[in-house]
Amino acid sequence: MLNVPALTELRALFGDRMSVAGTVLAEHSQSESLVTAGTPDAVVFPRTTDEVAALAAWSTHHLVPLIGWGAGTSLEGHALAVAGGVTVDFREMAAVLEVRPEDRLVRVQPGLTREALNHELRTTGLMFPVDPGANASIGGMAATRASGTTAVRYGTMRDNVRGLTVVLADGRVIHTGTGAPKSSAGYDLTALFVGSEGTLGLITELTLKLHGQPEAVMTAVAAFPSVGKAVDCVIATMQMGLSPARIEFLDTDTVAACNAFSNLTLPLAPQLLVEFHGHPEGLAEDVRRFRELSGEFGAEGLQWAEQQEDRTRLWAARHAAYRAILASRPDAKAVVTDVCVPISALAQAVEETRADIAASGIPGPILGHVGDGNFHAILMVDPAHPDEVATAKALAARMAERSLRLGGTITGEHGVGFGKLGLMADEHDEAWQVMGTLKRTLDPLNLMNPGKLVPGAAQP
Instruction: Assess whether pLDDT exceeds 60 at residue 99.
Output: yes
* pLDDT of the residue at 338: 94
Global pTM reads: 0.94
Q: Which amino acid is at 375?
A: F
Q: Does 331-417 match 216-323 at the fold level?
A: yes
Q: Which residues contact 397 (CB under 8 A, 6 or more apart)?
A: 423
pLDDT at position 308 is: 86
User: Rounded to the nearest 5 degrees, what angle is found at the Cα of 409, between the Cα atoms of 447 and 423?
Assistant: 50
Q: What is the mean pLDDT of residues 361-373?
A: 93
Give the pLDDT score at 143. 97
pLDDT, tens digit (0-9, with 9 covering 90-100), for 183-209:
999 999 999 999 999 999 999 999 999
Per-residue confidence band for 457, with pLDDT thresholds at 50, 70 and 90: low
Q: pLDDT tier at 310 (50, 70, 90 boundaries)?
A: confident
Distance of alpha carbon 337 from alpha carbon 169, whole angstroms: 31
Q: Which CATH number fits domain 93-212: 3.30.465.10, 3.40.50.720, 3.40.50.300, 3.20.20.70?
A: 3.30.465.10
* pLDDT tens-digit readout, 103-154: 999 999 999 999 999 999 999 999 999 999 889 999 999 999 999 999 999 9
Cα–Cα distance list, 233 to 226, 272, 285, 348, 367 (Å)? 11, 9, 17, 14, 15
pLDDT score of 460:
42
Residue 459, pLDDT > 60, answer no
**What's the mean per-residue pLDDT of the chain?**
94
Region 89-105 average pLDDT: 98
Q: What is the pLDDT of residues 154-176, one digit of tens each?
A: 999 999 999 999 999 999 999 99
The helix (run of H) or strand (run of E) holding residue 208 is strand 201-209
Q: What is the mean pLDDT of residues 35-42?
A: 89
Q: Which class is domain 4-91?
A: alpha beta
Phi, psi values for residue 16, rounded to 5°: -80, 5
Domain 331-417 has CATH 3.40.50.300: no
Among 3.40.50.300, 3.30.470.30, 3.40.980.10, 3.30.70.3450, name the CATH number for the domain at 216-323. 3.30.70.3450
| 365 contacts: CB under 8 Å, gap ≥ 6 | 251, 253, 254, 257, 325, 328, 377, 378
Model confidence at 66, pLDDT cuts 50, 70, 90, reads very high
> pLDDT at residue 409 above 90?
yes
Strand partners, 216: 278
Task: Give the mean pLDDT of 261-270.
Answer: 93
Domain ranges of the chain: 4-91, 93-212, 216-323, 331-417
Residue, of 40 and 306, whose pLDDT is higher: 40
Cβ pair 273, 290 in contact under 8 A: no
